[in-house]
Amino acid sequence: MIINFDKILNDLSSRLKDGTPDLTNEQHLIKLWDVLKEYDWPVDERVRLLQNLTEGTDKKLPYKEVGKRLAKIKSIEQQGTVNEKVYGDISSEDFIKRIKTTFTGATDIKGYDAGDTVQEPTGTGKSGPKRMSSKAKWFTWKWKGNNYDIGLSAASATGRGSKQTKDQELSWMLVLSGMQYGGNPSNKEEFLSLLVSNSSVYDKIEGMDESTAMALVNFLDANDSWYKAHVTQCTKFMSTISNKQPTKYVKDSSSLQVNTIAKKLYKQDYGKSLDTDKWNPADIWLQYGSVDKTAKTLNEFNNWIIESLKNGTGWVGVSLKKGKGSIGIVNDVVRPEYRVTGVGTKYGALLSQGVAFDYKGTELDGFALNFRIFQGGSTELIRGEVTKKGAQAVQGKAKLIEFDSFKKGIYSAVKKVSGVNVELKNKKWVFSPKGKSNFKKVKTAFNNIKNADFGTQHGDWGSAFNSQTTFLDRLNTHPKIKTKKEGQIKAALNARFQTIVLGSIVTQMSNKDLQKVMVGMLKYGKSESDWSSAHYKAQ
């Protein structure tokens, strides 16, 4: 049998995404088996060759298994919900020591600083220097006949907490890029390996490098619910738009050209400054082409956005919410016809903070507008969130001041009773001078609230608002209120006074005003105002 190994290797290379055979890679060996079969190699010859290739070499550990082993090191930072990551405040020397102790018998251990380059080895089909990583330290070693490498990112670069939303948006783009590149997410391990190892996937995402991709892969590996949600949404998104990768995946920013043009046209058409998040709440943009600079009005610009969404051209905006995997266009030509027939008002306990306005009417079932403070401040103004029954994420946000866009005076009436209303004297709560004045306004407002539901956890509301004396007595004697800290009491009353005044205004509105004001606030919160732009919503 005449054997042309060059041709066999060329055929094998053509079936690999990076074009470089790795005969320690099980998937590459499977593809080699198929190539040999096509060349009519007998089964026993195929078995013998693969045995020779793997002789003396243990099966190579998957990338994520290497990460798991190294993530057990105590000196490597562990944060938040992600318990499998390889980063932290540890020196290169100490990390090399840890590799030696974790992988007993490892040899040829080398460390590289961010930005270091090495010469590509001969026989790989590549030439010139290879940059190990632009941001992360990188380490390579040999263990049990296999070559290994892994990056060590700075802990501050990939922390959780306030950055988790950012990670979710970046990871969604990374998954979409990998799927549009041709990766199969049904094999999670293999797919995650593609995301972190192939620059044709992560380089498409603005500002992303292999270090960031690695951190996001660790996030997805440890958060399977997010991985599944991403895959489901991206699958439906691709069936709607395109399997083709855009020129770039970009995280939303007010400085993006698509936003600066919208702000300029809104100012021209409406004479006011634009909150771009209420024009188009896209968290990410897919750039298939250039931005339309010829639009003379915001409406014309919005029409270009609609064409981009429908045709998979121009700029496509996507608003991301964690959900069950639905994808749909918001603010397309046909918009929901909201018709309100009533608004229910619900309060919690006396010293809880919020008020919820539950909508009733055409296409409104399940929607609510909830107002509370978000930072726990004693002078903070309440803000609104749009929620929908059954949805896993908030549908949008609305500032208190936006009420005045639909009916003047609401914002100022609520703001007047904000601030510190009580203070401690001799370990007893008393009203501040401003608090006494505010209490009179709030007492009147409370008496005007109609048909609202009130929680009873802190006692009966009505008796509390009989007088200043009864209200202070409630603060000073109720066992559950007495367990609260000083800052909690001040913040809760700041929010509660505001929500009572707002509730009294809303419950006294006519149906005409409910339609104008409350539906207007709902549409504003959901970014569905008449001037809002079309976008995809993944939830």
Q: 346 and 309 share a domain?
A: no
Q: Which of 269, 286, 320 is the last residue of a domain?
A: 320
Kind of pairing, strands 107-112 and 137-143? antiparallel
Q: Which of 94, 123, 157 is the last residue of a domain?
A: 157
Q: 59 — alpha (psi -120 to 50), left (phi > 0) or beta?
A: beta
- Rounded-to-10 torsion of CA 349, 355, 359, 364: -110
Q: 344 and 486 share a domain?
A: yes
**Phi and psi at residue 179, in whole multiples of 5°?**
-70, -40
Domain count, the chain: 4
Q: 34 and 99 share a domain?
A: no
Three-state DSSP state, 283: coil
Tell me the residue type at 271: G
Residue labelled with tokens 């009130």: 454
| Cα separation, 440 vs 112, whole angstroms | 69
Q: 68 and 50 share a domain?
A: no
Token pair, residue 127, equals 């030439």
| Contact residues for 200 (Cβ-Cβ < 8 A; gap 6+) | 17, 181
Contact 536, 328 (CB under 8 A): yes
Q: Which of 141, 157, 173 is the last residue of a domain?
A: 157
pLDDT given at position 503: 93
Q: 44 and 82 share a domain?
A: no
Asked whether residue 266 is domain-assigned, the answer is yes
Q: 409 and 269 share a domain?
A: no
| Cα separation, 345 vs 298, whole angstroms | 36
Q: 147 and 261 share a domain?
A: no
Q: Say what the pTM is.
A: 0.54
Q: 105 and 142 share a domain?
A: yes
Asked whether residue 208 is domain-assigned, the answer is no
Asked whether residue 460 is domain-assigned, the answer is yes
What is the number of alpha carbons within 13 Å of residue 455 lying toward its C-beta? 14
Question: Which domain covers residue 486, as residue numbers?
Answer: 340-525
Task: Return the closest-CA partner of residue 295 out of 255, 263, 339, 331.
Answer: 263
Q: 429 and 490 share a domain?
A: yes
Contact 371, 355 (CB under 8 A): yes
Asked whether residue 233 is domain-assigned, the answer is no
Q: 497 and 421 share a domain?
A: yes
**Phi and psi at residue 398, in whole multiples of 5°?**
-140, 125
pLDDT in tens, the chain (539 residues): 556 777 888 888 888 877 777 766 767 777 888 888 888 887 777 777 776 665 555 667 777 678 777 765 443 433 332 233 344 446 677 778 878 888 888 888 988 876 666 665 544 444 444 555 555 678 888 888 888 888 775 433 333 333 445 678 888 999 999 999 999 999 998 898 899 888 899 999 998 888 888 888 888 887 788 888 899 888 988 887 778 889 999 999 888 999 999 999 988 988 878 888 888 888 899 999 999 999 998 888 988 988 888 888 899 988 887 666 677 777 776 667 889 999 999 998 888 878 999 999 998 989 999 999 888 888 899 999 998 887 766 788 889 999 998 999 999 999 999 999 999 998 899 999 999 999 999 999 999 998 888 988 888 888 889 999 999 999 999 988 888 888 888 998 999 999 999 999 999 999 999 999 999 999 888 888 877 887 888 77
**Phi and psi at residue 535, in whole multiples of 5°?**
-160, 160
Token pair, residue 377, equals 């401040």
Tell me the residue type at 336: P
Token pair, residue 336, equals 């929901």
Asked whether residue 433 is domain-assigned, the answer is yes
Q: 355 and 487 share a domain?
A: yes
Angle at 533 between CA 363 and CA 206, to 5 degrees: 125
491-530 exposure pattern, b = at least 16 Cβ within 10 A, e = fewer: bbbbbbbbbbbbbbbbbebeeebbbebbbbbbbbbbbbbe
Contact 525, 519 (CB under 8 A): no
Asked whether residue 186 is domain-assigned, the answer is no
pLDDT given at position 33: 81
Three-state DSSP state, 291: coil
Q: 406 and 506 share a domain?
A: yes
Residue labelled with tokens 């809760």: 492
pLDDT given at position 335: 65
| Cα separation, 153 vs 158, whole angstroms | 8
Asked whether residue 135 is domain-assigned, the answer is yes
| Cα separation, 25 vs 10, whole angstroms | 17
Asked whether residue 179 is domain-assigned, the answer is no
